[in-house]
């Protein structure tokens, strides 16, 4: 599984941050609404259990549609502490610019503002002074053997980390800018109609009409 995802989860746990992950798992499991289970899905389930992440998927509406092929492989993961604050998870029927459809949910209630450390906001003058004082007051350690060298490296590492945290305080993360509306509803409606026909007819001609409408929509955007 993904080492990067595991490191991200551990980082959020250490920094007391909530995490929401939307991913194309490319794996089948009935736990998130797939029609069957495969080896990759079973392995992914074990991996998610080890990370204490909850699956938000509800029902079996597919977010992945290409030609006549539809399957539930897009999953939404969330930190356990945020589970009760998320409602209304669903796969949108609005047209997208991809073979993957939009997934919608509502984040409600009082959610703590995530705090981050910005290295650019560090007081480096105070950092150098504080670190110099810690190193001068450090314990006497022998570095003639591997064990002593390892202890010295660990102590210096902890001194650097604690000094950095002391001179770069946690601050609320800034909110990003609001996204723009890409296209009027009338354009999206023109794509949604052939998509609905595809779901009902499930033939190659209907899917061809849907792909053509989707291409025109993407061009306008």
pLDDT of residue 1: 56
3 state DSSP class of 126:
helix
Which range, 122-126, 132-136, 187-191, 216-220, is most confident?
Answer: 122-126
- pLDDT greater than 60 at residue 181: no
CATH code, residues 1-114: 3.60.10.10
Of the ranges 22-36, 79-93, 102-116, which one carries the lowest mean pLDDT score? 102-116
Say which residue, 202 or 110, is predicted with more confidence: 202
At residue 130, what are phi and psi to the nearest 5 degrees? -65, -40
Q: Look at residues 179, 195, 180, 181 and name the one whose alpha carbon lies nearest to residue 95.
A: 195
Of the ranges 64-68, 72-76, 158-162, 168-172, which one carries the lowest mean pLDDT score? 64-68
Per the prediction, the chain carries an average pLDDT of: 81
Beta-carbon contacts of 26 under 8 Å, excluding residues fewer than 6 positions away, are 40, 73
pLDDT of residue 110: 57
pLDDT of residue 154: 85
Q: For residues 145-163, give the mean pLDDT.
A: 87
Of the ranges 74-88, 100-114, 194-208, which one carries the lowest mean pLDDT score? 194-208
pLDDT of residue 44: 85
DSSP state of 30: G
What does the DSSP assignment read for 151-220? HHHHHHHHHHHHHHHHHS--EEPPPPPPPPP-S-HHHHHHHHHHHHHHHHH--HHHHHHHHHHHHHHHHH
Give the model confidence (pLDDT) of 191-217 as tens digits: 777 777 776 776 767 777 777 877 777
3 state DSSP class of 98:
coil
Give the model confidence (pLDDT) of 4-49 as tens digits: 888 898 888 888 888 999 988 888 888 888 888 888 888 888 888 7
Beta-carbon contacts of 137 under 8 Å, excluding residues fewer than 6 positions away, are none
Alpha-carbon distance of 108 to 113, in angstroms, equals: 13
pLDDT of residue 175: 62
CB 108 within 8 A of CB 51: no
Helices (H) and strands (E) in the chain, counts: 6, 9
């Amino acid at each position: 599984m993904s080492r990067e995802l595991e490191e991200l989860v551990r980082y959020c746990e250490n920094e007391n941050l909530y995490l929401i992950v939307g991913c194309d798992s490319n794996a089948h499991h009935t736990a998130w609404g797939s029609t069957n289970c495969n080896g990759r899905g079973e392995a992914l389930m074990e991996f998610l259990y080890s990370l204490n992440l909850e699956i938000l998927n509800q029902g079996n509406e597919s977010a992945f549609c290409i030609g006549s092929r539809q399957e539930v492989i897009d999953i939404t993961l969330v930190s356990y502490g945020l589970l009760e604050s998320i409602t209304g998870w669903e796969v949108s029927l609005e047209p997208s610019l991809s073979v993957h459809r939009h997934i919608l949910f509502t984040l409600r209630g009082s959610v703590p503002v995530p705090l981050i450390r910005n290295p650019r906001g560090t007081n480096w003058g105070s950092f150098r002074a504080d670190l110099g004082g810690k190193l001068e007051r450090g314990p006497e350690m022998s570095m003639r053997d591997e064990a002593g060298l390892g202890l010295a490296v660990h102590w210096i590492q902890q001194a650097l980390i604690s000094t950095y945290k002391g001179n770069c305080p946690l601050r609320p993360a800034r909110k990003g800018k609001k996204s723009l509306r890409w296209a009027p509803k009338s354009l999206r409606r023109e794509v949604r109609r052939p998509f609905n026909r595809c779901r009902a007819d499930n033939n190659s001609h209907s899917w061809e009409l849907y792909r053509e409408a989707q291409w025109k929509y993407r061009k306008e955007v």
